[in-house]
């Protein structure tokens, strides 16, 4: 069970439904050791595995910490329909007086109770670039945001997710400075390669040179930089790197973190002559972290961040032995396409072919993130001409595009940089004045699908593109990383006619309603319906089959009339649209959807 201080908020039901510990086979410390030993032997076959196993256990369970006697079993009771997350930077809200983390906590307590029960605070460490993802010191909180007690207070009131930036650190950070000076153990912490190595197959999300030449106490070295020259890749071939990352996870957990986001995890193991993404030892490292999470006394959920095509992304579920959650990365570009084109066919076709999450796993659904809208997951799901049309339409609203290098030369769009609200300003046909309705429809799709919904704060707040921020900071991603002046935001939220108040009210109402529906459990049945190309429709059914919800979303600016018996309704049931409160007789009258209208039609209101 969670500690008492977490009971006031609807908890992730980590241990609900689990039989008493004494009724299950006990797992001895030897079994934990054996699991770790087998994985360490795969990762470091030339090392003393017994010694490494002891060091891993001591790194994760120091001092008075103790492992569980048995590992948590995979199960669908680890989360419920009550779970939803807000994604935010620690300084998305500022006023020049109070600590940003205090302002965030005030916003959460004022506007989010019953709406979300978790918060993902993007990297809150000291950094030099990429808004936190070039960490200089993993053991400190960025003093411009607050300090560890501020993090722990939020973690005591909400299910807190933090970023484990485990692939790279800042080129100006404490670890890399020690590396350049030849100080052990950091002199072997960073991945070195030669310009003569075969690096032609390496998959990367950037177009900057992969290797950076640096002068060190050991002489000239070329260090591997997957993302930028200010983000130098760690060398997990050295087990000391893994041990230090494990100690940092323990620091997060002790501070109240429940969900660990494994940032850029797909790239952590690299080898010249290979794509250096999704390598077997990368998966083995994730499996090792899962063993630690399963044996931890504290409830820990692992989320992998792998913005890649479908099959590669799904691989991080493993055999129920890797991530608990994975991002549903194809969702943002496919929702964007549906809303811009007024055609849900591609979105429906993709969802129809998506497997349900394995037992004990869940998808994390979202449309908007701090990075923009990734386009790689759309590969193979949308024709090139449709992708080009989407890019053009978003650019017409002031959006931008970031590029990536292709193996063998050339570039392609890696992501669209825009707020999702601004992207909804127009469709392929132009600006029609229906931005708010279109946007709320897009976010309702996120709420309706199998999985756990997550919402970037700038989606919740209908934030427009911050083009001044792009000009001031000189990077495309600043367009979607606005810092709201908190008093100004509060004024807008107090004005019921503002975009911010309208969107936050609509999304809050729907999320509160969603949290009460058993059919919206993250692992409840999700069946895609073929009703009309303008309507994205799914049937959700509760795990115990007590409730059905037909979630219908008109992605077009046209009124859509669905004929009687378009839905597979249970006979003699009483059907109500949860969103409008209407009693419906769809088996007799059919269902009408106004432009961008959504309906949650259920037999148990």
Annotated binding site: 130, 168, 261-263, 370-371, 477
Catalytic residue among 263, 437, 466, 577: 263
Does residue 166 contact residue 130 with C-beta atoms inside 8 Å? no
Distance of alpha carbon 566 from alpha carbon 588, whole angstroms: 10
Distance of alpha carbon 367 from alpha carbon 356, whole angstroms: 19
The total of other beta-carbon atoms located within 10 Å of residue 188's CB is 13
DSSP SS3 for 532: strand
Residue 528 CA from chain centroid, whole number? 23
Residue 538 CA from chain centroid, whole number? 22
Q: Say which residue the tokens 């006697």 belong to.
A: 69
Paired tokens of 315: 């691989």
The verdict on whether 263 is a catalytic residue reads yes
Burial label for 456, CB within 10 Å (0-12, 13-18, 19+), is buried
User: Which residues have C-beta within 8 Å of that of residue 68, sequence separation ≥ 6?
Assistant: 27, 294, 295, 296, 297
Does residue 551 contact residue 598 with C-beta atoms inside 8 Å? yes
DSSP SS3 for 571: coil
Paired tokens of 96: 């020049």
The DSSP code sequence of 65-99 is ----SSPPPP-TTS--TT--EEEE-TTSEE-SSS-
Q: Report in angstroms the alpha-carbon separations of 470 from 87, 394, 483.
A: 21, 16, 12
Q: Please tell me the total number of residues recorded for the chain in this structure.
A: 605
Question: What are the binding residues for substrate?
Answer: 130, 168, 261-263, 370-371, 477
Q: Report in angstroms the alpha-carbon separations of 156 from 8, 101, 297, 457, 593.
A: 10, 14, 16, 20, 42
Sheet strands (E) in 203-274 = 211-216, 219-224, 231-233, 257-263
The total of other beta-carbon atoms located within 10 Å of residue 270's CB is 24
Distance of alpha carbon 280 from alpha carbon 287, whole angstroms: 11
Backbone angles phi, psi at 590, to 5 degrees: 75, -170
Distance of alpha carbon 91 from alpha carbon 104, whole angstroms: 8
Beta-ladder partners of 101:
none
Q: Report in angstroms the alpha-carbon separations of 175 from 84, 180, 248, 317, 432.
A: 35, 9, 14, 31, 53
Distance of alpha carbon 526 from alpha carbon 313, whole angstroms: 19
Does residue 457 contact residue 103 with C-beta atoms inside 8 Å? no
- Can you give the three-state secondary structure of 454-503, one letter per residue? EEEHHHHCCCCCCHHHHHHHCCHHHHHCCCEEHHHHHHHHHCCCCHHHHH
- Nearest residue to 231 (alpha-carbon basis) of 185, 184, 187, 191: 191
DSSP SS3 for 453: strand
DSSP letter, residue 452: E
What positions carry a catalytic annotation? 263
């Amino acid at each position: 069970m969670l500690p008492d201080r977490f009971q006031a908020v609807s908890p992730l039901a980590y241990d609900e439904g689990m039989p008493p510990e004494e009724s299950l086979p006990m797992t001895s410390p030897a079994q934990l050791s054996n699991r770790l030993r087998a994985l360490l032997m795969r990762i470091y076959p030339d090392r003393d595995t017994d010694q490494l196993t002891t060091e891993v256990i001591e790194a994760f369970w120091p001092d008075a910490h103790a492992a569980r006697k048995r590992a948590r079993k995979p199960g669908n009771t680890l989360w419920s329909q009550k779970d939803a997350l807000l994604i935010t930077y620690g300084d998305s809200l500022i006023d020049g007086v109070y600590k940003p983390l205090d302002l965030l906590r005030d916003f959460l307590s004022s506007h989010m109770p019953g709406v979300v029960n978790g918060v993902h605070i993007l990297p809150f460490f000291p950094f030099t670039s990429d808004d936190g993802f070039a960490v200089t010191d993993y053991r400190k909180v960025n003093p411009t945001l607050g300090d560890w007690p501020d993090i722990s207070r939020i973690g005591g009131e909400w299910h807190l997710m933090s970023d484990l930036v485990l692939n790279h650190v800042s080129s100006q950070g404490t670890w890399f400075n020690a590396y350049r000076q030849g100080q052990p153990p950091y002199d072997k912490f960073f991945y070195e390669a030669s310009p003569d190595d075969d690096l032609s197959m390496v998959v990367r999300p950037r177009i900057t040179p992969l290797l950076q030449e640096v002068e060190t106490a050991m002489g000239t070295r070329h260090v591997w930089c997957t993302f930028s020259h200010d983000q130098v890749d760690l060398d997990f071939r050295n087990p000391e790197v893994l041990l230090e990352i494990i100690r940092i996870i323990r620091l997060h957990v002790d501070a109240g973190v429940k969900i660990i986001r494994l940032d850029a995890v797909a790239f952590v193991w690299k080898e010249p002559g290979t794509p250096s993404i999704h390598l077997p030892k990368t998966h083995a490292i994730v499996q090792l972290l899962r063993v630690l999470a399963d044996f931890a006394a504290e409830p820990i959920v692992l989320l992998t961040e792998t913005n890649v095509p479908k099959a590669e992304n799904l691989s991080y579920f493993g055999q129920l032995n890797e991530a608990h959650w994975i991002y549903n990365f194809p969702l943002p570009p496919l929702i964007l396409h549906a809303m811009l084109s007024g055609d849900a066919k591609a979105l429906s076709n993709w969802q129809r072919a998506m497997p349900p999450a394995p037992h004990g796993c869940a998808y994390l659904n979202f449309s908007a993130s701090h990075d923009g809208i990734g386009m790689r997951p759309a590969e193979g799901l949308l024709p090139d001409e449709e992708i080009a049309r989407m890019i053009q339409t978003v650019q017409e609203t002031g959006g931008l595009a970031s590029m990536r290098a292709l193996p063998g030369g050339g570039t392609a769009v890696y992501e669209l940089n825009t707020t999702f609200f601004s992207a909804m300003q127009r469709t392929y046909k132009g600006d029609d004045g229906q931005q708010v309705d279109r946007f709320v429809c897009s976010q309702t799709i996120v709420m309706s699908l199998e999985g756990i919904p997550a919402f970037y704060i700038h989606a919740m707040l209908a934030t427009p593109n911050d083009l001044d921020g792009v000009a001031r900071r000189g990077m495309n991603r600043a367009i979607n990383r606005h810092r709201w002046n908190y008093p100004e935001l509060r004024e807008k939220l107090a004005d019921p006619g503002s975009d911010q108040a309208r969107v936050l009210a609509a999304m809050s109402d729907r999320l509160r309603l969603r949290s009460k529906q058993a059919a919206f459990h993250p692992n409840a049945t999700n069946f895609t319906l073929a009703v009309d190309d303008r309507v994205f429709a799914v049937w959700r059914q509760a795990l115990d089959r007590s409730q059905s919800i037909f979630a219908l979303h008109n992605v077009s600016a046209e009124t859509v009339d669905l004929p009687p018996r378009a839905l597979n309704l249970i006979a003699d049931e009483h059907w109500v649209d949860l969103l409008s409160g209407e009693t419906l007789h769809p088996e007799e009258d059919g269902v009408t959807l106004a432009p961008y209208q959504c309906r949650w039609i259920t037999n148990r209101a």
